[in-house]
């Protein structure tokens, strides 16, 4: 769960899953939460301390009070 204000009045669910082999799982979760989402699954990259590249898939729900 994420909130962007110090008051914590609105919250959203952020789903992040790493790796190509987990893409089907995040697609499944995206379908479950479909009525609360207005964005496609997006991809990001993260590099760790030994410069290994990790792909991550994510989506966010809408924010609610």
Domains, the chain: 14-60 (3.10.28.10)
Helix (H), strand (E) at residue 32? helix 23-32
> pLDDT band at 27, cuts 50/70/90?
very high
User: pLDDT tens across 1-24, in order?
Assistant: 888 877 788 899 999 988 888 899
User: pLDDT at position 3, please?
Assistant: 86
User: pLDDT at position 28, please?
Assistant: 95
Helix (H), strand (E) at residue 53? strand 53-60
User: pLDDT at position 35, please?
Assistant: 95
Q: Are 50 and 2 in contact (CB under 8 A)?
A: no
């Amino acid at each position: 769960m994420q909130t962007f204000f110090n008051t914590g009045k609105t919250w959203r669910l952020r789903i992040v899953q790493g790796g190509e082999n987990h893409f089907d799982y995040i697609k499944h979760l995206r379908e479950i939460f479909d009525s609360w989402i207005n964005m496609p699954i997006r991809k990001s990259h993260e590099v760790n301390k030994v410069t290994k590249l990790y792909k991550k898939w994510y989506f966010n729900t809408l924010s609610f009070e």
